[in-house]
Structure 1
Amino acid sequence: MSGNGEPLGDRVIRAVRAEEWPAVKELRLTALRDPVAHLAFVETYADAAAQADDFWRDRTARTAEGSEGAQQFIAEASDGRWTGSVTVLVEEPGTTDWTGTVVEHKQGHLVGVYVRPEDRGSGLTEVLFDAALDWSWAHGVERVRLFVHEENARAYRFYRKVGFEPSGLTVPLKDSDKRELELVLERG
């Protein structure tokens, strides 16, 4: 049930292609309009919607099929509609991550997790994660991590259910007394 081109009912899980940037943009803007987007994403709808098409072309090209440093996986329904997505960013040892911390391990960083509301609870998120994890392990990462807003209980429960454990690292959110919690999954 995982990996590139694997079916889930009428869905196929696969990597995006560079020329699919308009669909990447549409799904991201949809995700940022979700009622819990403020808990799930650092980026706002207004900021993303203001980006020029070149931004979306470049963003998609960096995470498209065949990329070595990142990969975006989508769930595509038989009618061509994209119903979910997750992106893996590879972080190399010795680099500095978005928190200002030096990366100690070659690791995958899962970002942009989104499943349309009507497809939640169907097992789709698990299959997207399987594809992202399979790709990560195949690219030599030692662990995979993600961050979750401390008030995003639904996401936190899901991440724990699929094996992610709290690392103890917390990152304060800008202009807020809230935090993001790091969860990790070691290669097993």
Structure 2
Amino acid sequence: MTASVVTFGDCVIRPVRAEEWRASKELRLVALRDPVAHLAYLDTYEEAAARPDAWWRERTANGARQFIAEAPDGSWVGNVAVLIEEAGTTDWAGLAVERRQGHLVGVYVAPGFRGNGLTRALFDAALEWAWGRGVERVRLVVHPENARALGFYRKAGFVESGVTVPRADEPDELEMVVERP
């Protein structure tokens, strides 16, 4: 099932197609150069740039459901991806997943497109897709010093769950959740 394409201002928000792995890779590399990337992502520009094309093809074709915001000139200016986590499994951090849930990752919007509602429109597309797959809640994990992200997530209806995710040499990250409406 493919999510529908929606527009927000001059941008189109849509799911990424498997053959668009190069553009997905390029957007990720741009995001990893953001001044707060060290707070927002678990990998670095150098790590991501060194991955072989086969890794990017697999990630785009079979990884999380990725939604992008495409500007009128065809450039990708925003991204959010949704992983579905099944109850009874463990997540990327080794924590038990207690119920079927979505997990938002890879959030990025280019600086010139921030603050106008585009990030919320990307989240709405991702949440609609997750709710359509029967998840009970959607979560994300955020660094406690990433004030811009924390502020947005709270405005988008996410609340801190009380769960923290340990990080080596960093403060524990905060899990934030939104329950199914």
Asked whether the two chains share a fold, i.e. TM above 0.5, the reply is yes
Residue correspondence of structure 1 range 38-77 to structure 2 within 5 A: 38-63=38-63, 70-77=64-71
Structure 1, residues 87-125: CA drift from partner, whole Å, max 9, x if none? 000000100112222111100000000000111111110
Provide the rounded CA distance (Å) in 2 between the counterparts of 1:41 and 1:34. Answer: 10
Deviation at 1:150, TM superposition (A): 0.6
Q: What is aligned with 1:104?
A: 98
Provide the rounded CA distance (Å) in 2 between the counterparts of 1:53 and 1:85. Answer: 20
Secondary structure of the 1:48 match is: helix
Structure 1, residues 4-55: CA drift from partner, whole Å, max 9, x if none? 3111111010000000000000000000011110011011111000001111
Is 2:82 the counterpart of 1:88? yes
Is 2:146 the counterpart of 1:152? yes
Residue correspondence of structure 1 range 1-188 to structure 2 within 5 A: 4-63=4-63, 70-176=64-170, 178-188=171-181
Structure 1, residues 135-162: CA drift from partner, whole Å, max 9, x if none? 0000000000000001001100110111
RMSD of equivalent CA atoms:
0.9
Q: What is aligned with 1:67?
A: none
Provide the rounded CA distance (Å) in 2 between the counterparts of 1:20 and 1:100. Answer: 30
Structure 1, residues 62-89: CA drift from partner, whole Å, max 9, x if none? 14xxxxxx31000011110001000000
In structure 1, stretches of 5+ residues that fail to align are 64-69
Provide the rounded CA distance (Å) in 1 between the counterparts of 2:13 and 2:121. Answer: 8
Secondary structure of the 1:103 match is: coil
Provide the rounded CA distance (Å) in 1 between the counterparts of 2:164 and 2:122. Answer: 25
1:45 partner amino acid? Y
Secondary structure of the 1:163 match is: coil
Provide the rounded CA distance (Å) in 2 between the counterparts of 1:33 and 1:101. Answer: 29
1:182 partner amino acid? E
Aligned residues: 179
Identity of aligned residues (%): 65
Relative to the length of structure 1, the TM-score reads 0.93
Secondary structure of the 2:135 match is: coil
1:187 partner amino acid? R
> Would you identify which runs of 4 or more consecutive aligned residues in structure 1 move more than 3 Å?
none
2:174 partner amino acid? L
